[in-house]
Chains A and B, each alone.
Chain A
Amino acid sequence: MAPPQQRRERPGDPPRSAVRTLGHDRGQIEALCETIIAQMLAHGLSETATFAFRLAWEEAVSNAIHHGNRDRPDGVIEVAHLVNDAGASVRITDQGDGFDPTAVVDPTLDENLECPTGRGLLLMRAYMTRVEFEPPGNTVRLIYERPPSSR
């Protein structure tokens, strides 16, 4: 399986030292999530912020593993993160061909409420300040910015 495609760094990208390659391993995934949350708390971000991050992280990683990597046992995802006083950001890249995030059906419509899947993107967007997809759609960036009232 091809490694995640290389891309040029953009301003504000997490430093390369924060880039990690994770397998589809629950232990690795949880450990990195806890590391990021600990950093958020150390920078004075609230429990509300860490709740939001944990939820968005779970949804993004799940999408990368299931949809991007199609649950292949040898699949990997590339994760970079940055936490500072302004907030937290994480970039997740899978090995898939990408997708069109504008084509995802609205799970809140009455006719879709009883569908058991399709809420990950909704929750990511609800809880993060910004959710950005990089073409072809196999990289997502989750950005949580500390609210002005808490600075």
Chain B
Amino acid sequence: MTAQQSRLRIRKQDQITIVEFVDRNILDEANIAQIGEEIGALVNDDPNPKLLISFANVDHLSSAALGALITINSRIKSKDGQLRLADINSQIIEVFHITRLDRLFQIHPGTREALASFA
């Protein structure tokens, strides 16, 4: 059995883990489940997680993806960690606004602003 190909690009900067998505469309629930597992593993392995999720190059996402983000957020909060979202295009920002999830997540226009916001 071959290992599943990662759906994420991950890098570290100043104790902050920066995650980007390989896929432009985050719609397939199997892929979303994999994304949730991969990010969950990053959070689990870090005693004080500081995570920045960049949506650069993401064109579409579904409510299942939003659900995965909520689960990640809950897990990070339980460890007193920090989560930021960045680089979300205007159409997807509207999805966050319609669902009022822009009140749940700390969303920044770009990666630079998001990085500066970590305590």
Contacts and interface: CB of A to CB of B under 8 A. Distances in A.
A116 B62 contact: no
Interface centre among B28, B98, B103 (most CB of A within 10 A): B98
A67 interface: no
Interface in B67-113: 67-68, 70-71, 73-74, 91, 95, 98-101, 103-104
Given A113-B103, A114-B74, A26 B28 contact: yes
A126 to B, nearest CB: 5
A115 interface: yes
Interface residues of B, number: 23
Contact of B63 (A26, A51, A54, A120): A120
Interface residues of A, number: 20
Contacts of A120: 63
B60 interface: yes
Interface of B: 27-30, 60, 62-64, 66-68, 70-71, 73-74, 91, 95, 98-101, 103-104
Interface of A: 26, 48, 51, 54-55, 58-59, 62, 107-108, 113-117, 119-120, 122-123, 126
